[in-house]
Amino acid sequence: MKLKITVLFIAFISSLTIAQTKVGTIDSEYIIGMMPETKKVVEITKSYGAMLDSTFSIRVTDFKVRLEDYKLKEKDMGELEKKTIQKELAGLEQDIKKYQKNGNTLMGLKRDELMRPLYTMLSEAIAFVAKENGYTQILTITGNEFAYIDSKFDITELVLKKLGITIPKG
C-alpha cells in the first residue's frame, strides 16, 4: 500500500513539475526591425552622424590645408620653425584621431539612448504575452543557436500583435 501511495505521489509531483514549465522563443531583433519607431531612430541617428561627420570634415580639411601650406613653405623655413609646425601638425593629427574615436563612441551612445525605449516597450509586450499564455520562460533566438525549436512555442507573432504591428505578407 505504501508503495502504491509513493508511486502515485511521485507521479503527481512529476506532472506538477512538468505542467509548471512552459518555454517559448522569440525573435526580438525581427520585432525591433518591424517597429515603426525604429525608422525614426535610424533617421535621427543618421542626422546625428551627419552632424558629427561635418565637424570631423572641417577638422580634416583644416589639417590638410595646414599640411599643404607647410610643404610649400618648408624650404624657406628655419629648423626651429619647421619643428614647431611639425609639432602642431602632429598635435592636430592626434586630435583628429581622438575626435574620430569619440565620434564613434558618441554614435553608439546616441543609438543606445534612442533604442532603449523600444527595447523597454518590447520587454513589456513579451512579459504581457508570456503571462497571458502561461509561459514561464521566453528565450530569444537572435544570435543563439538551438538544435531544435518547436515553432508552436514561438511568441514572436503574438508580441507583434500586442504591439499593433502587422506582419508583411510574402
Cβ-contact 111, 45 below 8 angstroms: yes
Query: Is residue 38 pLDDT above 90, yes or no?
Result: yes
Q: Look at 2 and 61; give whichever has higher pLDDT.
A: 61
Query: Is residue 150 pLDDT above 90, yes or no?
Result: no
Say what the pLDDT of residue 65 is: 92
CB neighbour list of residue 161: distance below 8 Å, 6 or more residues apart: none
CB neighbour list of residue 106: distance below 8 Å, 6 or more residues apart: 48, 52
pTM of the predicted structure, to 2 decimals: 0.65
CA distance 81 to 120: 58
Cβ-contact 112, 41 below 8 angstroms: no
CA distance 158 to 133: 10
Q: What is the mean pLDDT of residues 13-22?
A: 63
- What does the DSSP assignment read for the chain? -HHHHHHHHHHHHHHHHHHH--EEEE-HHHHHHH-HHHHHHHHHHHHHHHHHHHHHHHHHHHHHHHHHHHHHHGGGS-HHHHHHHHHHHHHHHHHHHHHHHHHHHHHHHHHHHHHHHHHHHHHHHHHHHHHHTT-SEEEE-TT---S---GGGB-HHHHHHHTTPPPPP-
Say what the pLDDT of residue 169 is: 81
Domains (range + CATH), the chain: 20-162 (3.30.910)
Question: Residue 39, Cα to own-chain centre: how many angstroms?
Answer: 14
Q: Look up cell 505578407; give the residue.
A: 169
CA distance 115 to 134: 28
Which tens digit of pLDDT belongs to each residue from 122-142? Answer: 988 988 888 888 888 888 887
Q: Look up cell 554614435; give the residue.
A: 107
